[in-house]
Homo-oligomer: A and B are copies of this chain.
């Protein structure tokens, strides 16, 4: 149950409307939590009903009109509680690893193209993160908040780096395999 807390964090960083939140979830927030606009609007409604956030009064709340939200003290308290609470790590699920394990049994036919495609996607993502790092975390900018946010970004960068290396290695192995399309 982390989406509401992701939204609270984002709103504390900057009060926003649903669409603005969606855009931010597609960018910086997206590298550790993704969400669609439908999820976000639903959750904004819930958070408002619970008294954790409220719509900024200035704007009128009609459909098709921008409606911005800000976090209330109760919301900040809930976020602090959640952040400090112990949580078990969720088991990971990775489709590509599963496909490779399946390929060990039913053959690797057709896999290579998709491995290459994923490699390109991860390279692209990595480049994007590195650009963010250059732009937002130049050396010397180390207020506590920046250090923590930089740490999170580093995780994103290192994970993408790992995947590009692993996929490269996988493609090499695949190329060396004897009959590449054994049934």
Using a CB–CB cutoff of 8 Å, the interface residues on chain A facing chain B are 2, 5-6, 8-9, 12-13, 29-34, 76, 79-80, 82-87, 89-111, 113-114, 117-118, 121-122, 144-145, 147-149, 151-152, 154-156, 158-159, 162, 166, 169-170, 173, 176-178, 182-183
Contact = CB atoms under 8 A, between A and B. Distances in A.
Nearest to A112: B84
Given A93-B32, A107-B80, A149 B101 contact: yes
Contacts of A98: 2, 5-6, 9, 32-33
Oligomeric state, in copies: 2
Contacts of A97: 31-33, 152, 155-156
Given A86-B114, A93-B32, A117-B86, A148 B12 contact: no
A93 B2 contact: yes
A102 B121 contact: no
B114 A32 contact: no
Contacts of A102: 5, 8-9, 79, 82-83
B109 A13 contact: no
Nearest to A180: B144
A147 B159 contact: no
Given A100-B151, A105-B9, A145-B105, A90 B80 contact: no
Contacts of A169: 151, 154
Contacts of A158: 162, 166
B104 A145 contact: yes
